[in-house]
Structure 1
Amino acid sequence: MKKILLCCNAGMSTSLLVQKMQKEAASRGLDVEIEARPLNEAMDHLDDANIILLGPQIGYTKDDFTAAVAGKDIPVEVIPMADYGRMNAAKIIDTAIEKIG
């Protein structure tokens, strides 16, 4: 099972996105776990993730997250504002699966 970790400021809008992503993943039969964490908790959960997706509002932290997972083969991506705003779960999952490999 692959684990996708979404991080944002407080976890409110991202929790709605996670629900949409979970439905999308289930409809495709994907073996993924999708979890949202607020920024102040996310660093404690990085080792469990196969990919870290950052909400666009915290995109400025990408370098910090990349440094925190250096050498662990865990990609860190910022969700594009358009996909995040539209809650485009299908496209965000496609990107995550492509980056995980």
Structure 2
Amino acid sequence: MKILVAAAAGMSTSLMVRKMEEYMTANGLVGVVDAVSVAEAKERIRECDVVLVAPQVRFELAGLHQIAEPLRIPVGGIPAPIFAGMKGEEAVRLAQDLIAQAAEPTS
């Protein structure tokens, strides 16, 4: 699983990525989490399975959705309580849920 965390790029995002990686390692989940700027996320969106958007750049969700939707790559916002609490497990589960929802057949 490849997760891009789109943010304004700062210390808090690096800490969130570390918490997500720690959870994945502790639970035998294979994957990579990268913190990138929104501009970089737009360029690298084809390389990932899911994009999570940090609360401080939540206003960028619509633009990322426009790029990701035709590629069937899910995009979701990280809720502020998850981000502020550095809840890596909850962020990874959010990513997993978004990937699962995107894989469901549409009727």
Tell me if TM exceeds 0.5.
Answer: yes
Taking structure 2 as the reference length, the TM-score comes to 0.88
Can you list the C-alpha shifts for 1:9-32, whole angstroms capped at 9, x where unaligned?
124311111011101000000011
- Number of the residue aligned with 1:8: 7
Aligned to 2:32: 33
User: What does 1:58-73 align with in structure 2 at a 5 Å threshold?
Assistant: 58-73=57-72
Largest Rg, 1 or 2: 2
Gapped regions of structure 1 (runs ≥ 5)? none
1:78 paired to 2:67? no
Q: Would the aligned equivalents of 1:5 and 1:37 in 2 still touch at CA under 8 Å? A: yes
Partner of 2:19: 20
Q: CA deviation at 1:45?
A: 0.9
Distance 1:10 1:94 in 2: 22
What is the TM-score normalised by the length of structure 1? 0.93
CA distance in 2, matches of 1:95, 1:40: 22
The structural deviation recorded for 1:92 is 0.8
Taking every aligned residue pair, what percent have the same amino acid on both sides? Answer: 29
- How many correspondences in the alignment? 100
Deviation of 1:38 after TM superposition, in Å, equals 1.6
CA shift, 1:86, in A, is: 0.2
Moved more, 5-14 or 87-96: 5-14
| Contact 2:52–2:75 (8 Å) recurs in 1 | yes
Hey, what's the Cα distance between the residues in 2 that align with 1:73 and 1:96? 14
**Aligned equivalent of 2:42:** 43
